[in-house]
Chains A and B, each alone.
Chain A
Amino acid sequence: MNFAPKHAALLLAIAAAAPTVTAQCPNLRAVNRAAHWEGSDTGTRCRRVLSIFGLTIGLGSSFCPDVRFLYPARRDCMAVPDAGTDCEKIGEVGLERWECSCTTLIDVDLGLAEQSCNCTLQGNESMFDDHATIPCSTP
């Protein structure tokens, strides 16, 4: 295919029609980060203990961290390229601290006392920046 002058003109027109792609524009976008929990390695095991043949059997045993953090959903700048946009801070979101311990719950149907990990909100431990993808302004 020959590269005709009309093609060059077309390319120039496209470039002109996209003024956001400038030398000053960082060409980055914000990236979604889902909310997630992170727990401490230190904690206890919640379990209903039975003594059988001299063994301590922890039934339904599950690890219960001393503390868990709920990282909020947010958008972050992680150097992801995107033509014509910038990643800018628009606010802050709180990191929640929950403290956990084993509590006994009664299963009415089975008449069974089960241990489960119960966490209580303590408040906000810190803040994380929240970002957005903003179109670069035309110079």
Chain B
Amino acid sequence: MKHILLCGVAALILGLLLLRMRGHVNSASSTSWSGSQAAARGEPETTGPDLLLDPATDISRSDVAAQPDLPADSADLDLAGLLAAIARAEAAGDERSLEGLLVRIVGDRSRLQDVLAFLESDEGQTSAVERRGGVVAIAVAFARWSRGDGPEGLDGPGFCEAVLQSLPRQPRESRELLIGFLVGTDHGEVPAIPGRMLPAILSLCRQHPDEAASYARLLDRLGQDPRALADHRGELMSLILEGQDEPLVGPALRALLALDPSSGAATARSLLDGAPPGSALQKLLVKSIAVSAPAAIAVEVLVAASDGSDFAAYAELARRPEAREELRNRYNALVAANLDARARRNLVASMSREETGTLLGIGGTDPHLEVRRQAFLTASVSRDIGLEGLRSIRDAYARRAAQGGIDARCAVLSASNVALRSTGPARDEALGLLGDIARDASLSSFERQLALSKLRPHVPRESLADLEALEPGGSQAGK
């Protein structure tokens, strides 16, 4: 009994000594991204999801030997072999093997440094499979340690900054793949890239303007979690106001609008005043405002600043329920006074979630042809408008020579939309209208050929035998 007690006490003392030694080794470590530099900077050591603090998933405490399902002979693999094995496990979606392999890198500070050096090496010396394995390992380590200290006291955020700084030194293929993985890694909806990486990302963009569009993807991902950038509003604002780094303006503006829609919208509007008409910057501003600005402001910008070709912005506005009443009211006010047909057309193009009857009504009554055309196209492209809708198109086309109708081109494209989206009698009538227009000798060959091109995918070739002359090179082509 005495012996058992003595053994127990000895084991306890030995265990305590080992723990102290481990702590000593940790505190003595210091590479560029080792040691708890986050604490020295006075930053919170963990600001992210609690999973990073979960002891059950902390690789640094994992026992490699106890990892299940390790591939046979994997212990003997050199770095390249280990990375290739990681890539294969990843390709097979084998999570358990992948964990077993990754733990040797993600939990080992010097191995992480080796993998970064491996990714920076000349493509000729490494295989694509090995590089993919390296990218997977670094992305997982990045996600693991970006918000806290890693194994052996590794400074997690410092390591992540080193990963970002390594990107320009990597061959293009590795760099793009790693950026893709960093962007695509998250926990739930929280991106792996923490907000405190913003200065490092901006620095990359500015130091390497030719590759800024690639690095801007990191910023864009960061901006999808506005909380991550809550402490960086000032930097976002100055980035937007500088306005020169176009790849960065969009992500910065989206982030700012998500954080603070009112002040973000005010900033975007002031920029819009100075943006050259039709420029990429103007289009970007209009779209960003359509996505996130308060609905009244977004509709106002659509009316005042869109040149009529911002269809992605119109689609963004259409999907916002709170904008629908604003769009409808604005249209009604303008049409009552018969004002600004261009603005009315933009508004109608943004009403794809409006009721079918409302859109068909605009198509039948608006005083301006462009607006009527847009109403029929918006209605027919966004849903199955059925037989009633097709008949509205036919009626409007029948009035083409009179006030309030639509021309053959609009009738063709609208009927073609119905043929794509409808079945049964509506589709049959749509094909019938296309056939009528293709056979109408009073129309231009352009209009007839357009109808024929929309009809052809839906009907047997022999049913169009009488229209052969309309085909390019045919006797009626070009008339």
Contact = CB atoms under 8 A, between A and B. Distances in A.
Interface of A: 38-42, 45, 47-48, 50-62, 65-67, 69, 71, 91-92, 94-95, 97, 110-113, 121-128
A59 B144 contact: no
Interface string B309-328: 10110011001000000000
Contact of B92 (A62, A94, A110): A110
Contacts of B423: none
Contact of A58 (B92, B186, B377, B420): B186
B129 to A, nearest CB: 11
Interface string B93-107: 101001100100010
Given A66-B319, A124-B377, A53 B92 contact: no
Given A122-B420, A123-B420, A41 B143 contact: no
B416 interface: yes
26 contacts: A39-B312, A41-B291, A52-B99, A53-B59, A53-B99, A54-B51, A54-B56, A54-B187, A56-B185, A57-B143, A59-B136, A61-B180, A61-B183, A66-B319, A67-B312, A71-B309, A110-B92, A111-B92, A112-B91, A113-B93, A121-B420, A122-B417, A124-B377, A124-B416, A125-B311, A125-B381
A10 to B, nearest CB: 41
Contacts of B51: 54-55
A34 to B, nearest CB: 14
B312 to A, nearest CB: 5
A106 to B, nearest CB: 12
Contacts of A94: 413
B418 to A, nearest CB: 8
A39 B188 CA distance: 24
A59 B382 contact: no
Contacts of B282: none
B184 A123 contact: no
Contacts of A57: 139-140, 143, 181, 184-185
B312 A54 contact: no
B373 interface: yes
A52 B382 contact: no
Contacts of A95: 311
A41 B316 contact: yes
B174 interface: no
Contacts of B381: 97, 122-125
Contacts of A122: 381-382, 417, 420-421
A126 B184 contact: no
A67 B91 CA distance: 29
Interface of B: 51, 54, 56-57, 59, 90-93, 95, 98-99, 102, 106, 136, 139-140, 143-144, 180-181, 183-188, 192, 254, 287-288, 291, 309, 311-312, 315-316, 319, 349, 373-374, 377-378, 380-382, 409-410, 413, 416-417, 420-421, 446
Nearest to A91: B446
Given A55-B144, A122-B421, A50 B183 contact: no
Given A56-B187, A124-B377, A124-B417, A42 B319 contact: yes
B118 to A, nearest CB: 19
B356 to A, nearest CB: 15
A128 B56 CA distance: 59
B90 A50 contact: yes
B349 A126 contact: yes
A56 B188 contact: yes
Given A41-B291, A57-B139, A92-B409, A69 B312 contact: yes
A86 to B, nearest CB: 20
B421 A53 contact: no
Contact of B143 (A55, A69, A125): A55
B409 A55 contact: no
Contacts of A124: 377, 381, 413, 416-417
B417 A66 contact: no
A7 B341 CA distance: 54
A100 B233 CA distance: 33
Contacts of A40: 312, 315-316
A55 B319 contact: no
Contacts of A113: 93
Contacts of B90: 50, 59
A40 B288 CA distance: 10
B380 to A, nearest CB: 7
Q: Which of A42, A69, A124 neighbours the largest number of chain B CB atoms within 10 Å of its CB? A: A124
B181 A59 contact: yes
B311 A55 contact: no
B57 A60 contact: no
A62 B140 contact: no
Given A55-B192, A65-B312, A125-B378, 5 more contacts: A45-B184, A50-B90, A57-B139, A58-B184, A112-B93
B193 to A, nearest CB: 13
Contacts of B59: 53
Nearest to B57: A54
A42 B316 contact: yes
Contacts of A62: 180, 184
Nearest to B278: A78
A48 B144 contact: no
B144 A53 contact: yes
A91 B448 CA distance: 13
B10 to A, nearest CB: 35
Q: Which 5 A-B pairs have the closest CB atoms?
A: A61-B184, A123-B417, A58-B184, A54-B57, A124-B413
